[in-house]
């Protein structure tokens, strides 16, 4: 199980995350994406991950508004517990 965290930039992941996902084979792996954002939620990042990692099981992500990230510990724990 891979927890993939990133900030949502312009509706998706930063280019560095795209590069990381393009360079490895995630077939048979489970990817649990989560991001911070300032209004766009997960954007299209889940769909982008699915395109980049066609053999992976990409779970529903968790979007945390950046200005509330410091208070999101319980929400993150609840979400991560559901993924196990």
Give the predicted TM-score (pTM) of the model.
0.89
Residue with tokens 């084979």: 25
CA 40-44-47 angle, 5° bins: 155
CB atoms within 10 A of CB 32: 20
pLDDT of residue 81: 87
* Mean pLDDT of each 10-residue bin along the chain, 84 residues long: 94 96 97 95 97 97 93 91 67
Q: Decide the pairing of beta strands 2-7 and 62-65.
A: unpaired
DSSP secondary structure letter of residue 12: B
């Amino acid at each position: 199980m891979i927890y993939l965290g990133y900030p949502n930039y312009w509706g998706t992941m930063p280019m560095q995350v795209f590069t990381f996902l393009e360079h490895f084979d995630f077939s048979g792996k489970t990817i649990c994406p989560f991001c911070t954002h300032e209004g766009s939620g997960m954007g299209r990042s889940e769909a982008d991950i699915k395109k980049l990692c066609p053999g992976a099981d990409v779970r529903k992500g968790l979007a945390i508004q950046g200005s509330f990230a410091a208070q999101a510990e319980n929400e993150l724990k609840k979400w991560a517990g559901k993924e196990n």
